Amino acid sequence: MLRPSMLLRAARPVTRLASVRNYSSQAPALAGVDPSKMIIQRTQTPKELMKEEDLVFGRTFTDHMLSIEWVAGKGWSEPRITPYQNLSLDPATCVFHYGFSCFEGMKAYRTESGELRLFRPRKNMDRLSLSSARIALPSFDPDAMVECISKYVALEEKFVPKKRGYSLYLRPTMIGTQRTLGVGPPGSALFFVIASPVGPYYPSGFKAVSLEATSKFVRAWPGGTGDKKLGGNYAPCILPQQEAAKRGFHQNLWLFGEEGYVTEVGTMNLFTCWVNKEGVKEMVTAPLDGTILEGVTRDSILALAKEHLGKEGWKITERKYTIKEVADAADEGRLLEAFGAGTAAVVSPVRRIAWDGGANGVQRDINVPLPEGKEAGPIAERVWKWMEGIQYGDIKSDWSYPVKA
Ligand SMILES: *Cc1c(COP(=O)(O)O)cnc(C)c1O
């Protein structure tokens, strides 16, 4: 368990003193996250490494965890790397009752020459800081947090698999730790990171998925929190996913509004490729209007597509589009590809979308073409190669962040 003093201290109700209000000229400086103050306590019982082919996503974890506590009026305490262990929290702790929880998903990759790299980690920490602030938890200096994570990954070096396609999945998390049933801003918080070695999402090549276009359940809405990675956004999506699975679909394609706007697929952003009505090849994805999670993969694919496909005459577009537009493109032979995009799979090709809004509301299939005998279209395959090349350090890029101890 974490040193009792750590969480007991954090669990004590914190009085907010007038003197620590931000506008007070006497306000003591709040401590920021300081990677140079890192305290490292190594495990005495190192774990056996699993065989790489036996790894299951999120099932096994490394020897250590990184934790940093925050207290209102004081700021951040020194970062600690400790043995991986249970948290000890009072049952009245606010995270258990009101969903004060947000998280990130990112990976550490090993290059051909054995160095460790993160992929655009600053983006994940920017996003976590915004998610955290949205639920009245503390924000932080994203660069300092990246440095802490980098030190942690360096310490867990042996757990970053050597095989291509494998990686160390990192789960930075922020929770409210104040012990109170009062509904209000938590007076204390805990940031922690755990890490799980993972295999490729598609161990034996792509497997295109079938989607059920869902309007009965709504994942995100204007003014809501769908653009933040809050724990509370995910639990409500399991039941719709189970219902879709019962009918033989892998994932929900989340629609929004009477217009049937296409938003995201499962927990991935969605890209659709078609020949548009003007006869131009176009890659389209929903815009960041507050209902779309701002995926790092999404952002990266948009930039890479503009660079590479732009030269080939493709139009790369962020705009609202409807499921009817996708169905029309399929009917008119203009639909080229569709794929999900996220850290876990990088790209996840789609083969079929069931939609209940056909003529007279009759359920119909939208078939997404795939090349004969293949599970991914050429654009999905190229995007995946560009991303992988950067993630594993084959292609030199500012997006690749060398891990430093
Ligand atoms: C995490 C997530 C994504 C993908 O984000 P990446 O940064 O690319 O991993 C997309 N949609 C939702 C709903 C997510 O939770």
Domain boundaries, the chain: 4-198, 209-391
Q: Give 49-101 pLDDT, tens digit per residue.
A: 888 888 888 889 999 999 999 999 999 999 999 999 999 999 999 999 999 99
Predicted pLDDT at 357 = 84
Question: Which of 372, 294, 358, 349 has its CA nearest to residue 326?
Answer: 358
Q: Which CATH number is associated with domain 209-391?
A: 3.20.10.10
CA of 313 to the centre of ligand 1 (A): 28
264 lines ligand 1 (CB under 6 A): yes
Predicted pLDDT at 8 = 41
This prediction's pTM: 0.92
Q: How many CB atoms lie within 10 A of CB 204?
A: 7
Same fold, 4-198 and 209-391: no
Residue type, 34: D
CA 229 – CA 237 distance, rounded (Å): 13
- Cα separation values, 394 from 159, 167, 291, Å: 21, 15, 34
Residue 204: is its pLDDT beyond 90?
A: no
Run of H or E including 384: helix 378-391
Residue 1: is its pLDDT beyond 70?
A: no
Structure tokens at 256: 């929004």
219 lines ligand 1 (CB under 6 A): no
What SS3 class is residue 327? helix
295 lines ligand 1 (CB under 6 A): yes
What DSSP character marks residue 50? P
Torsional sign, CA 151, 156, 160, 162: positive
- Cα separation values, 323 from 224, 255, 329, 331, Å: 22, 8, 10, 12
Mean pLDDT of 292-320: 98
Looking at per-residue pLDDT, the higher value among 3 and 28 belongs to 28
CA 94 – CA 10 distance, rounded (Å): 12
Query: Can you point out the beta strands (E) in 237-378?
Result: 251-256, 261-265, 268-275, 281-285, 315-318, 335-342, 346-355, 364-367
Predicted pLDDT at 2 = 53
- Label residue 25 by pLDDT band (50, 70, 90): low
Predicted pLDDT at 26 = 60
Predicted pLDDT at 20 = 45
- Label residue 19 by pLDDT band (50, 70, 90): very low
CATH classification for the domain delimited by 4-198, as one of 2.130.10.10, 3.40.50.720, 3.30.470.10, 3.40.190.10 = 3.30.470.10
Residue 155: is its pLDDT beyond 50?
A: yes
Q: What is the largest CA-CA distance in the chain?
A: 71
342 lines ligand 1 (CB under 6 A): yes
127 lines ligand 1 (CB under 6 A): no
Q: Which of 233, 254, 269, 384 to mutate to test the pocket of ligand 1 (most atoms within 8 A of CB)?
A: 269
Question: Which of 331, 363, 368, 380 has its CA nearest to residue 214?
Answer: 363
